Amino acid sequence: MLRRIYKYGLALCLCVLSVPALWAQKGTGRDYLRSGNRLYRDSAYTKAEVDYRKAIEADSRFPQAYFNLGNALLRQQKPKEAMQAYEQAVKVETNKGRLASIYHNMGVILQSQKQFGPAIECYKNALRRNPADNESRYNLVLCQHQLKNNPQQDPQNGGNENKDGKDKNKEEQKNSNKKDQQKDKDKKEQQQQQQQAQQNEENMSKENAEQLLNAAMQDEKETQERIRKAMAEPRRRKLEKQW
């Protein structure tokens, strides 16, 4: 049976398992569990809590009693006590499917308290044991999105940063600023080197051009001189013939 809670505008599912055939227990523990389940379905959560605790007294390793106790406590707005009950259930439960339900509900509590990091781990644990759990998958994606949009939140304490964390952030920021300054300096030096190299290249090109021009002019003079001499020599030879 699935029951839903609505908190912070999110529909987060609480899994409630109450199949006696899957949770058969000996003695009065099973009887108290059944009685507690009936009270829970009637929304008598305080009375259901009493019966679940009696079931645990009868059998201290009764995983469903711990799990349903956590659900009853959560319905009474007691998330801290509910989390403790779920943690006990995790210790004694061996079935993967039921463990997935326990981790899912733990994730719901942590997510409602904006402890997104631990909540993400709980949803991942749920999916490891039940990959077909679409509700845990949805909550996981939503929780990752919330954590991304709240990077200042400390995933271990619900967003309360301590002094050491602030000092560490300041030191990291300081180191980051130094690296940025060094990058800017290196970039400026590189630009200056490129400008100098370009200028040298331009100067060399100008010098080469002048040298080539001078050479061409010199060749032109020599060529003109050779042409002048060549033109003069035939005339001399012609005159000689006339003589």
Q: What is the pLDDT of residues 153-162, one digit of tens each?
A: 554 444 454 5
Is-contact 93 63, C-beta < 8 A? yes
- The structural domains of the chain, with segments of one domain joined by +, span 2-161, 165-243
Mean pLDDT of the chain: 75
pLDDT of 21 higher than 50: no
pLDDT of 34 higher than 80: yes
Q: Give the pLDDT confidence of 35-81 residue by residue, as tens digits.
A: 999 999 999 999 999 999 999 999 998 999 999 999 999 999 999 99
Handedness of CA 198, 200, 204, 206 (dihedral sign): positive
Considering just the CA atoms, what is the radius of gyration of the chain in Å?
A: 44
Query: How many Å apart are CA 145 and CA 141, to the nearest integer?
Result: 6
Q: What is the pTM of this model?
A: 0.56
CATH superfamily of 2-161: Tetratricopeptide repeat domain (1.25.40.10)
Query: How many Å apart are CA 49 and CA 2, to the nearest integer?
Result: 18
Amino acid making up residue 206: K
- Split at pLDDT 50, 70, 90, the class of 189 is confident
For residue 240, the SS3 value is helix
Amino acid making up residue 193: Q
pLDDT of 16 higher than 80: no
Average pLDDT over residues 224-239: 50
Q: Give the pLDDT confidence of 131-161 residue by residue, as tens digits.
A: 999 999 999 999 999 998 886 655 444 445 4
Q: Which pLDDT belongs to residue 243?
A: 31
